Amino acid sequence: NAGVTQTPKFQVLKTGQSMTLQCAQDMNHNSMYWYRQDPGMGLRLIYYSASEGTTDKGEVPNGYNVSRLNKREFSLRLESAAPSQTSVYFCASSPGVSNEQFFGPGTRLTVL
């Protein structure tokens, strides 16, 4: 089992460009999450999907959109990237929202 996979691993964007971060899990988990991690700020939840077909905002949703494509896949879209979105983005999944989460390897995004 690959666990949680994320693509791409690295990305550099110019201000105003758009992109989609992909995440997939093969653990048959119901819940999936997108976090960003910045120095000194810890993990901040952007959006989550408690189950297939549902999505909810987290702590820092502005500037992002998500799609729960199916049970396995949960994508994060930046419509118009800004330098403030330079960060490391982690996707995670869990059997349910109150269970332990398992993380993907992350995407390092730089917005110039």
Token duo for residue 105: 């390897």
Per CB under 8 A, does 98 bind another protein?
Answer: yes
Residues with Cβ < 8 Å from 89, sequence gap 6 or more? 6, 21, 34, 35, 36, 37, 46, 76, 106, 107, 109
Shortest distance in whole angstroms from residue 80 CB to another protein: 27
DSSP at 73: B
Of 8 and 16, which CB lies nearer to another protein in the complex structure? 8
C-alpha 21/C-alpha 34 separation (Å) is 10
Of 58 and 63, which CB lies nearer to another protein in the complex structure? 58
DSSP at 52: T
Which residues within the stretch 19-58 sit at the binding site for another protein (CB under 8 A)? Answer: 40-43, 45, 48, 50, 58
Query: How many residues interact with another protein (rule CB under 8 A)?
Result: 20
Of 80 and 110, which CB lies nearer to another protein in the complex structure? 110
Options 28, 54, 99, 110; binder of another protein; rule CB under 8 A? 99
